[in-house]
Structure 1
Amino acid sequence: MGWKSLDDMDLKSKRVLVRVDINVPMENGVVTDDTRIRRLLPTIETILNAGGTPILLAHFGRPKGQVVPEMSLGQLVPALEAAFDRPVTFCADCRGPAAIAAADALPDGAILLLENTRFYPGEEKNDATFAAEMAAVGDIYCNDAFSAAHRAHASTEGIACTLPACAGRLMEAELKALEAALGKPERPVVAVVGGAKVSTKLDLLGNLVEKVDHLVIGGGMANTFLAAEGYDVGKSLCEHDMTGTAQKIMAQARAAGCEIVLPTDIVVAREFKAGAANETVSIDACPADAMILDAGPETVERIGSVLENAKTLIWNGPLGAFEIAPFDTATNSAAGIAAERTASGHLISVAGGGDTVAALNKAGAAESFTYISTAGGAFLEWMEGKTLPGVAALGA
């Protein structure tokens, strides 16, 4: 591996600056979902158990270099104390004399939370002076925010080039999962890619066809590929101006020995609402006044047979309009097969992206997947084969 973990660092009596993602949803000043906070517990406990002091760095919202009181991290202290079951001291700065004094005064076994790094223009500019000022508060830098690793900011890259740096437990788990999925995966490798538009996932598709054995395309994206093959997709969501690009991707896949799996039957409806009248037809029989909203049972069977032979699965995006029944059937069925094979030890399954997590949770399959990434943009950029500054800096 090109990066160090907490196990490689001497943490005793050291102040550990931990870059975390606690950009959590709030309502009336109260955290409504503390999942991201709770996932930090292994890193916090590792540092404390080794005799170190965790000092948390994070952003919240998009204050754009200005102090915005409603985006202060101070409001998260109660949720952090509840999740970590220990005192959390807040400092209304993230560098300078106040932050250093707060670290000096911290009692043993406590945690220090520094103010929103994005209150300072130097954060998003990755200003070296600002990074050095934050680094002066600690002895070791630990990045546990993979979700922000695709950004070259002062708190994600700059500090890592100033202090001894390592990955936290959450970052470590993410990197290991992604390495298993795309680095040196067990074959055959299957990627499921869905979503609305081909145009937003060009880099992703181009990278995947060179690395996987089967690429299953679903959602609105599949309609663009079907149109590129000459099928009439009626009133479906479709980027007709991207059909030439879709043809190039299919040609690239053929050259790389990657099979692209597209729908062979489709579920169509005249309106997009729960319980809408619908029918299943062959891909060459889409009515001119209908929309394709899901893949049909024949397609699901084909996807199932691909998954039954797979050793590794990467999933990003639903296969249909999963938000409403009955257009969630293909996603739910395929997710169920993947979950079952993972649970039985036959499949390594890694999934990520907002809609993906929601779809797999809705299908009741998420808990059985090997790894579910909540990183969003960073997960996609990794799948696209891009270098993530926050990860690369850990190997500096």
Structure 2
Amino acid sequence: MIEEIKTINDFNFKDQTALIRVDFNVPINKYYEIMDDTRIRYSIPTIKKIIYEKGKIVLISHLGRPKGIPSKIYSLKFLIRYLSEQLKTTVNFCENCIGQNVLNKVSELKNGEILLLENLRFYKEEEEENMNFAYELSKLGDIYVNDAFGAVHRFHTSITILPKFFGEKKCIGFLMKKEIQYLNQFLHGKGKRPITVLLGGAKISSKIEIIENIINFSDHILIGGGMSYPFIKIKGGNVGSSLIEKNRNIEMILKKIFQKYQNKMNIIHLPKDVVIADSFKNEANTKIVSIDSIPNGWMGLDIGPSSIKNFCKIIEKSKTILWNGPVGVFEFSNFSLGTRSIAKSIANITEKGAFSLVGGGDSIASLKMENCEKKISYLSTGGGAMLESLKNKTLPGINAIIQ
């Protein structure tokens, strides 16, 4: 599918203004220091290419969920210094996204100059697929570039409606191209075998469809974290007070999967044992039990030692690995061993030549805990978009470029 999509290599940006939708929705602390700059760093090559060709750049992004109300907390102003340092050039800022003031600033841009606009979500229209808002934004550029993989699964104005105003003059940036290429390796089973997919995290509803899609080409599907308990429950096990997402459809869909893929169930690996706690806190009393016999009043908060051993053994024999979601409550140090062990195991096998793709904020955070994020083949910049792609759906933002 990547062949059908125009990329920034299909355009020469000399004397052209590129309106680039980036995803600079990065985690920051109370001092506005960036805690993880992966998304921004991955967009730099796209920006540099356009500067090199003597084009002009207008950057648009969102940050957080201000719900249409401007506030200092969600302002993008803090990015000016960081971007100026990264790009070794002055980055200008405008406190609006639409209107005469913005148009004036855009018209004053010289070749090679950059203008960052304020948070798109200060306008409620951004989340409403609003035609008028898209039209006003479209006046700010000659060529539309989407390099915001982290937001490409959203039906938001700047993602799905804005590209319509650019006709043939729309494309994706280098970050988006890489994300699509690497995900396609998995979606079409093109990776070297054995292919292992590890799914964790609390929500199973967002990942059930993925299991149905990947079961046909995966050699191993490892399931940990809150995702594993509905499987155990349906098999008749006792999961005690472990957190299970409340969704009636889950049981029905899981039963269907068990029936439909009876002959493939051996590739789905669940934890054998778990570290359980008598309350949801780091200092809770703990013990290790079989995952299917958790006593009432106790909850599973991490995978146990034999599960760690089993999962790592499978990972170490893999040639292609995709990971999304922790296998325990890793933000509690006493329940982080499982997730940290998985992170180290994936990093080790990658160094030996396997291909690894990791997505989702929690998974990437756990890699950073172990200082091994640089050992992974590719860190996906969009957990939600990655999950939607794995359901074998064309994402709305990519559709908008193709149409």
State TM-score, norm by structure 2.
Answer: 0.87
1:254 and 1:217 map into 2 onto residues whose CA distance is 17
* 2:393 partner letter: K
Q: Which of the residues 388, 400, 403 maps onto 1:393?
A: 400
Judged with a 3 Å threshold, the aligned counterparts in structure 2 of structure 1 residues 218 and 26 are, in CA distance, closer, same or farther, namely closer
Q: Which of the residues 96, 105, 108 maps onto 1:105?
A: 108
**For 2:184, what is the secondary structure of its paired residue?**
helix
Where does 1:1-396 land on structure 2 (aligned, <5 Å)?
Answer: 1=2, 2-26=4-28, 30-33=32-35, 35=37, 36-68=39-71, 71-163=74-166, 164-186=169-191, 187-238=193-244, 242-254=250-262, 259-274=267-282, 276-283=284-291, 285-345=293-353, 347-396=354-403
**Contact 1:228–1:244 (Cα < 8 Å) also in 2:** no
* 1:47 partner letter: I
Q: What per-residue deviation string (whole Å, max 9, x for no partner) do you get for residues 242-282 of structure 1? A: 54543333333435576110122333333444465533333
1:23 and 1:303 map into 2 onto residues whose CA distance is 32
**Contact 1:213–1:257 (Cα < 8 Å) also in 2:** no
Higher mean alpha-carbon deviation, 60-69 vs 48-57, is at 60-69
Shift of 1:215: 1.4
Judged with a 3 Å threshold, the aligned counterparts in structure 2 of structure 1 residues 48 and 284 are, in CA distance, closer, same or farther, namely closer
Shift of 1:19: 0.6
The alignment of Structure 1 onto Structure 2 pairs a total of residues equal to 395
2:266 and 2:5 map into 1 onto residues whose CA distance is 31
Shift of 1:25: 4.2
**For 1:195, what is the secondary structure of its paired residue?**
coil
Higher mean alpha-carbon deviation, 284-293 vs 137-146, is at 284-293
1:298 and 1:138 map into 2 onto residues whose CA distance is 56
Higher mean alpha-carbon deviation, 12-21 vs 385-394, is at 385-394
Judged with a 3 Å threshold, the aligned counterparts in structure 2 of structure 1 residues 198 and 123 are, in CA distance, closer, same or farther, namely closer
* 1:248 partner letter: K
**For 2:255, what is the secondary structure of its paired residue?**
helix
Judged with a 3 Å threshold, the aligned counterparts in structure 2 of structure 1 residues 61 and 322 are, in CA distance, closer, same or farther, namely closer
1:320 and 1:167 map into 2 onto residues whose CA distance is 36
Which segments of 5 or more consecutive residues in structure 2 lack a partner in the other structure? none
Higher mean alpha-carbon deviation, 263-272 vs 67-76, is at 67-76
**Contact 1:88–1:113 (Cα < 8 Å) also in 2:** yes
2:154 and 2:170 map into 1 onto residues whose CA distance is 17
Judged with a 3 Å threshold, the aligned counterparts in structure 2 of structure 1 residues 171 and 378 are, in CA distance, closer, same or farther, namely same
1:120 and 1:111 map into 2 onto residues whose CA distance is 22
Judged with a 3 Å threshold, the aligned counterparts in structure 2 of structure 1 residues 343 and 68 are, in CA distance, closer, same or farther, namely same
Shift of 1:191: 1.2
2:245 and 2:47 map into 1 onto residues whose CA distance is 46
**Contact 1:143–1:168 (Cα < 8 Å) also in 2:** yes
2:111 and 2:394 map into 1 onto residues whose CA distance is 38
1:34 and 1:322 map into 2 onto residues whose CA distance is 18
Shift of 1:5: 1.8
* 2:306 partner letter: E
Q: What per-residue deviation string (whole Å, max 9, x for no partner) do you get for residues 23-58 of structure 1? A: 234566734436143333212111111111111112
State TM-score, norm by structure 1.
Answer: 0.89
* 1:315 partner letter: W
Higher mean alpha-carbon deviation, 182-191 vs 61-70, is at 61-70
1:118 and 1:259 map into 2 onto residues whose CA distance is 43
Shift of 1:379: 2.0
* 1:116 partner letter: N
Fraction of identical pairs, as percent: 39
* 1:138 partner letter: G
Judged with a 3 Å threshold, the aligned counterparts in structure 2 of structure 1 residues 75 and 311 are, in CA distance, closer, same or farther, namely closer
* 2:213 partner letter: N
1:30 and 1:286 map into 2 onto residues whose CA distance is 43
Judged with a 3 Å threshold, the aligned counterparts in structure 2 of structure 1 residues 312 and 25 are, in CA distance, closer, same or farther, namely closer
**Contact 1:144–1:167 (Cα < 8 Å) also in 2:** yes
**Contact 1:62–1:118 (Cα < 8 Å) also in 2:** yes
**Contact 2:258–2:265 (Cα < 8 Å) also in 1:** no
Q: What per-residue deviation string (whole Å, max 9, x for no partner) do you get for residues 86-140 of structure 1? A: 1112233333443332122123432112233333344323233432332222111
Higher mean alpha-carbon deviation, 10-19 vs 54-63, is at 54-63
2:34 and 2:346 map into 1 onto residues whose CA distance is 30
* 2:156 partner letter: H
